[in-house]
Amino acid sequence: MMQIRQLTRSFATATTTTTSNIPIKSSLILSRTPIVTQDISEFEKLFYNYQEELERRLMWTFPKWFYFKKGTVAEREFSEAQNYPIPNARGVWFPQGNPDLKHGRDRRFKQEVILPKKHIESDNNNKEEDSDNDFDNVGRPIRANSRITKFDKENDQTSLERKLPRTLYLLVNQNGNWKFPSFNVLSENENSGLHKIAEDGLRIIGGDKINTWSVSNSPAAVIKYDSNNKIIHNTDNNDQLITREFLIKSHIIAGKFDLQKSNNSVSDFKWLVKEEIKDLVDISYYSKIDHLLSDI
C-alpha cells in the first residue's frame, strides 16, 4: 500500500517539476496592530451618552443601607458626600413639580451617587511631580499616559509609536515606487515558499533585529504587472511576460525596521495608516490593496 502511495506521489512531483520561468514576486504587508483601543466617533460618543443618561434615570435607588452599616464612619462620610434633594413640604410651591423623595432620592430624576474622596491631594505641585516619577512609591497618584505621542506631534512617519489607535503598515520606496516591500522568487529559493521568501527579504532590506509573525503561508492577494511594470486588471491573458506579485500578511511584534545602507533598491520607508497610503501610492495599486487594509 505504501509503495503504491509513494509511486503516485512520485508521479505527482514529476508533473509539477515542469514549472515555467514565469516571473513571480513575493510581497509582504507588514502591519503594526493597534496599541490602544479604537477612537470612538462623535456620533457614537453622543449616543453612548444618551444611553447612559437614560439608564441612570431608570436606575433603582442606590441601597446605601446595604453597603454601609448604620452608625459607622464610612456611612457618615458617604452621607456627607451626597447632595440630598430638597424634600416636599406643605405650603411650599415647587416650580418644577413636587419632589417625590424615597430613600433620599428624588424619584423623578436620576440619582447621582458621589463617592467620598479617600485621600487628600497634596497642595504642593512640585511634590506631586516628584512622586509621579517615583515608580518605587506605591502610593503615587495614578495618571494615564497620553494616547497622542510625541511622534504624532512631530508627524514622524518612520516611527512605530505613532497613531496608536490605528493599524500601521510598512511602505517602502522600492525602485522609485512607494509600495509594500516585494522580493523576487528565484528558482534556488523556491523551495522555501512565498511567506519565507518575503520574511527573509524583509530582513535583508531592514536588518534581522525584527520579530514578525506571518499570518499564513498562503497569499492574501495577487497583483499582475505587464512588461512595462503597469498593473493589469483583466485576468484572462496568461502571458509569460506578466509578473505576478503575491501579497503575504504579517505582523511586527518587536524590534524595528532599520533600513540597510547596503541595499540599493530601497531608498526610504514609512509606517502609514490606510488613508495616508491612499494619498501616497498609485491609484491602480491602491485599488488592488484597498480591501486588505484595516479601517481601524
Partner 1 sequence: MFTVRSTVKTITAHVKPTQQLRYKRDKAGLNPQLERIVNQLSVMSAARKQPRLLKLCDEDYIKHRTVMKAWSLYRKNKIEHNESLLEKQYQSMNEAAAELQSINPKLYEIANEHQFGKRFPLEIRTPTDFPPRQIWFYDYFPKVDGSKQQ
Q: Which residue, 185 or 277, has its beta carbon nearer to partner 1?
A: 185
In terms of Cα–Cα distance, which of 205, 160, 153, 155 is closest to 179? 205
Contacts of 212 (CB under 8 A, 6+ apart): 30, 199, 202, 250, 251, 252, 253
Separation of alpha carbons 184 and 186, rounded Å = 6
291 near partner 1, judged by CB under 8 A? yes
Indicate the SS3 state at residue 148: coil
How many residues of this chain bind partner 1 (CB under 8 A)?
Answer: 73
Site for partner 1 in 168-207 (CB under 8 A): 185, 190-195
**Cell 484595516, located at residue:** 294
Q: Which x/- pattern over 144-173 shows residues binding partner 1 (rule: CB under 8 A)?
A: xxxx-x----------xx--xx--------
Q: Which residue, 76 or 108, has its beta carbon nearer to partner 1?
A: 108
35 near partner 1, judged by CB under 8 A? yes
**Cell 479604537, located at residue:** 38
Of 204, 210, 232, 266, which one interacts with partner 1 (CB under 8 A)? Answer: 210
Task: Give the DSSP letter of residue 137.
Answer: -
Least CB distance from residue 123 to partner 1, whole Å?
27
Q: Are 169 and 222 in contact (CB under 8 A)?
A: no
137 near partner 1, judged by CB under 8 A? no
Q: Which amino acid would we find at residue 186?
A: L
Q: Which x/- pattern over 43-72 shows residues binding partner 1 (rule: CB under 8 A)?
A: xx--x--x---x--xxxxx-x-xx------
138 near partner 1, judged by CB under 8 A? no
Separation of alpha carbons 153 and 161, rounded Å = 11
271 near partner 1, judged by CB under 8 A? no
5 near partner 1, judged by CB under 8 A? no
Least CB distance from residue 3 to partner 1, whole Å?
22
85 near partner 1, judged by CB under 8 A? no
Residue 208 CB neighbour total at 10 angstroms: 12
